[in-house]
Structure 1
C-alpha cells in the first residue's frame, strides 16, 4: 500500500494566526493567497489540518482528491487532513476560512466522530436559508476569535466551532436523506466508526462485507444497519467507494503502472480492476489518468 505521506506532494503545516498556541485560526481566502506562494496553491498539496471555506466572491475552482469543484459565492468546501488538494483561484477570489487541528474540536456524538472521514462529502452549494444560518454562526465564531482572551476564550471557540460543524453536518444530511432522521444509537455509532477504521486498514486486501463483519465480531446485518444509519448507503458501497478513492489517488498522483495499482488494491487480474473502476467512475483507469492530469494543469 502506498503511504501518501511519502509522496513528493508538499504538506502545508498548521500555523496559528494572531493567537499562537491556539488550535483554530480564522482568515480569508484573499489573505491566504497573499501569504502563500501561488505556485504552491496551484500545484497538488496536502494540509495537516482541517480547512472549511465559505466562498463569498467569484473564486474559480478547487480540486480535492482529483475531483474538481466550482467555488462560486455560497459554496462551502471542507478539506480534511492529508487529502490531495489543488487550487484554481480566479481574480478577486475571496471567502471566509476556518482552519483547525484534529485535536481542537470538542468530543461530540458518533455521527461527528469521524471528522477526517475522506468518504464524507467535501463540497456543498448552500441554499439562501442555509447560507444565512451558517453566516450567523460563523460571525459569532469570528467575533470571539478577534476578542482578547480573558480566560475562557479557547472553550468558547471550541463550542462555537462545534455549532459550525453541526451546521455542516445538518447540510450534509439534508443532501443525503436516506439515513435515519434521528441520531442512531451509541452502539451503532461505535460499530460504524470501528468499521471505517477497519476499512482504512483493509480495503487493499478484501472487499467482502463478510470479512469486515468477522473482523468487527458482528453480523453483516448489524453492520448494514449501522452503515445505512450513518452514511445512508450499504456496506458494500462504502467499501467500493474507499477502494475507488484510493485508485483515483494512485492514478493521478503516482506513475505506478495500472497493473501495479490493481495488485495493491487486491485485484488478482488487471481486467477485473478495469471493470470495477469503470463501473464506479464511468471511465477506464487509463482514460481517467489522462483526463485528470490534463485538468490538473493550472
Structure 2
C-alpha cells in the first residue's frame, strides 16, 4: 500500500454507512504544511487506519505513483490497470479507485493539493484532463528525465533548512511544474498513441463537447449539428481515434459518470439517472443494465 509519510493521515469524508470514503489531502503530514508531498511507497501502510485501501474510495487531490517494481494491479474508474517497473499511474481528484490487496507497491509517490499551483500552470500541464489515460509507459529517455526531475523535487521538498518558507514553497512550485510539464507531454503522447494517430480535430472537438454535455445530450446528431459536422464525418473521426462509434463513446461516458455517482454518493437511483440525463428511472435502469449486465442497485450493493 501507499506510504503514510507521503499520503497518509488526514481525515476522511463520507460515512461508514455508505461504505465509500473520500480522503482529503493530508496537510498535517506535509513538510511545513505545503500543498504537496513526495516520498517512497512502502508495504503495509494505509491512507487512514479507519478504512482499508482495498475498498473502492476516492481522493480530492492528485496522486501520481512512479513504480519501481511490479506487476501491480490498480483499479481507476472501474478499469483495472496493470503496472510494471518504470510505469506511472496518475489519478486525478474525484476519480474512483482501489488499491490491490495482493500487489506490493514499490516506488515513489507524489501527491498535490488542488490550488497549490497557479491557474496558468494547471492549464499548461493538463491537470484535469480526465480524458487522458491514467497509466503511462515512458520510454527509456523519458523515464530517465522524469526520474531526474522527481529526484530534484524530492530534494527540494526535504530541504527545510536553506530557505524561508515563502521561498521554499515558490521553489517547490517551480520544480513541480517542470516535472508536471514532462508528465503532461507523456500523457498527451500516450493518448495519441492509444488512438493510433495524431489527435483528429473532429474527434477532439467531439470529445470535448461530450465532456461538457453528456449529462443532457446523448444523441450523435445533436453533437454533429452543434459542431458543424455531418454524422458520417463524426463516425469516421471517432472510429479512427477510439475504434468505437460516436454513440458508443457517449454511452461509455454516461455510464462512467453513473458509476461514480452510485459509488460515492447516497443519491437515490432515480436521481442518479436524472443527473446523467434520464428523467425516467426505469429507462436509466434499463440503459445501465444494457451496458453493464447489472442493475444500478446491484452495482451499488456489490461495492458496499
TM-score (norm 2): 0.67
Does structure 1 residue 52 correspond to structure 2 residue 52? no
Determine if contact 2:121/2:177 at 8 Å carries over to the other structure: no
The DSSP-based 3-state class of the residue aligned with 1:70 is strand
Does structure 1 residue 74 correspond to structure 2 residue 86? yes
Residue 83 of structure 1 corresponds to which residue in structure 2? Answer: 95
CA distance in 2, matches of 1:32, 1:48: 22
Does structure 1 residue 244 correspond to structure 2 residue 243? no
- Between 1:86-95 and 1:234-243, the stretch displaced more is 234-243
Query: How much does 1:154 deviate?
Result: 1.4
Counterpart of 1:33 (choices 11, 34, 45) is 45
CA distance in 2, matches of 1:21, 1:146: 12
Residue 101 of structure 1 corresponds to which residue in structure 2? Answer: 113
Structure-2 change in CA distance of 1:60 and 1:220 (3 Å)? same
CA distance in 2, matches of 1:38, 1:93: 20
Determine if contact 1:262/1:273 at 8 Å carries over to the other structure: no
Determine if contact 1:203/1:265 at 8 Å carries over to the other structure: yes
How many residues align? The count is 269
Structure-2 change in CA distance of 1:49 and 1:109 (3 Å)? closer
Deviation sequence 1:171-221 (CA, Å, 0-9, x none):
12222334459xx9xxxxxx97xx95x86674222224676799xxx7545
Determine if contact 2:25/2:61 at 8 Å carries over to the other structure: yes
Does structure 1 residue 146 correspond to structure 2 residue 155? no
Query: How much does 1:166 deviate?
Result: 1.5
Query: How much does 1:98 deviate?
Result: 0.7
CA distance in 1, matches of 2:275, 2:94: 20
Query: How much does 1:14 deviate?
Result: 1.0
Deviation sequence 1:98-123 (CA, Å, 0-9, x none):
11111112433786465234332211
Residue 187 of structure 1 corresponds to which residue in structure 2? Answer: none
The DSSP-based 3-state class of the residue aligned with 1:108 is helix
Query: How does 1:90-169 map onto structure 2 within 5 Å?
Result: 90=102, 92-108=104-120, 112=124, 114-148=126-160, 149-150=163-164, 151-169=166-184
Counterpart of 2:216 (choices 205, 210, 214) is 205
Counterpart of 2:293 (choices 264, 284, 291) is 284
CA distance in 2, matches of 1:251, 1:106: 32
Residue 287 of structure 2 corresponds to which residue in structure 1? Answer: 273
Unaligned 5+ segments in structure 1 are: 185-190
Deviation sequence 1:243-262 (CA, Å, 0-9, x none):
13113335666799988765
Query: How much does 1:76 deviate?
Result: 0.7
Query: How much does 1:52 deviate?
Result: 0.5
Unaligned 5+ segments in structure 2 are: 1-12
Structure-2 change in CA distance of 1:64 and 1:35 (3 Å)? closer
TM-score (norm 1): 0.69
The DSSP-based 3-state class of the residue aligned with 2:128 is coil
